[in-house]
Structure 1
C-alpha cells in the first residue's frame, strides 16, 4: 500500500474519531471500515490480525454500551464545546499515557471546557458529572475503542 493510500486511511480513521463525538454519525464504523480497507489493500497476516482485533474491540464496546445508559447528552447539558474538549483531552491523554490516559484525558478535557465556559470549579464539576451520567460514559467507551484501534493500526503501519 502506498503512502497516499495510508494517508487516506488515516484521514478516514480521524474522521471516524470525530464522528464518535457527534451524535448520529457512525464514527466507530468509519474507523472499522478504514481498517478493513487497509487490510484488503495490504494482505499480510499483521493487517488481518489488526482487522480481527478491531472487530473484536468494537463488538465488545457495543456490548458495553448496551449496558450503559443511552446517549442523552443534549438533555444532560453537554455542549459541542465540551465534546471537542473531551475528545481532545482523550487524544492527548492517550498519547501521553498510552491507552489508559484516554479516560482521565476525556474527563479532564470535559472539565476544562466547562471550567472555561462556566468559570467556577463547582459548577464545572457538576456539569461534567451530569453529562457523564447522561451518556458520557457511552461516548467514552466508543472513543476509547476507536483510539485502541488507531493505536493498533499505527503500530502495524510503522512498527510492522
Structure 2
C-alpha cells in the first residue's frame, strides 16, 4: 500500500468514526477519501468504486430518513421535539465534550415531550422512540459508508 493510499484510508477511517460519533460529516469524509483516490488513480476500476461509493452513501442517506421518520411517526414524535433535542445536544457538546451531545439530546427530547404530553411515561416512551430512530440512522449511515470503504479496500487489494 502506498503512502497516498494510506492517506486516503486515514480520511475514510476518520469518516467512519464520524458516522458513529456524529460530530464529523462521516459519510462525506468517506466519499472524499474515495474521490481523492479515484481522481489520482484514474482507472476504470477507480471510477467504478467511486460510483459504488456514491450510490451506497446516497441510498444510506435516503434510507436513514425514511426508516427514522417511519419510527418517529409511529411513535407520534413531532419534529419540533427533535429540534429541541438537537439544539440542547449541540449546547451539550460544547459544555461536556463528546458525552454532552447524547446526554443533552436525550434530556432535550424528554423535556420537550414532557411539556407537550404532560405525562412522564408517555414522554419517556417518546424519548426512547427518538433514541431508537437516532440509532437506526447511525446504523444505516454506517452501512452505506462501510460499503463504500469495502469497495475501495477490495479495489486496492485487487490492483
Same fold (TM over 0.5): yes
Name the residue aligned to 1:138. Answer: 137
Name the residue aligned to 1:38. Answer: 37
C-alpha root-mean-square deviation of aligned residues, in Å? 2.6
CA offsets per residue over residues 30-72 of structure 1, 9 Å max, x none? 0001000000000000000000110111111111112132786
Q: CA deviation at 1:23?
A: 2.2
Structure 1 spans left out of the alignment, 5+ residues: 84-128
**After TM superposition, what 4+ stretches of structure 1 lie above 4 angstroms from structure 2?**
70-75, 129-132
State TM-score, norm by structure 1: 0.60
Bigger Rg over Cα: 2
The 2-side partners of 1:33 and 1:134 are apart by 27
Q: Does 2:156 correspond to 1:157?
A: yes
State TM-score, norm by structure 2: 0.60
The 1-side partners of 2:133 and 2:22 are apart by 13
Name the residue aligned to 1:55. Answer: 54
CA offsets per residue over residues 6-38 of structure 1, 9 Å max, x none? 000000000000000122420000000100000
Structure 2 spans left out of the alignment, 5+ residues: 70-81, 90-97, 103-127
Q: How does 1:60-99 map to 2 (within 5 A)?
A: 60-69=59-68
Residues 16 and 26, structure 2, Cα contact 8 Å, conserved in 1? yes
Instruction: From the two aligned structures, give the one with the greater helix fraction.
Output: 2
CA offsets per residue over residues 80-132 of structure 1, 9 Å max, x none? 5xx9xxxxxxxxxxxxxxxxxxxxxxxxxxxxxxxxxxxxxxxxxxxxx7686
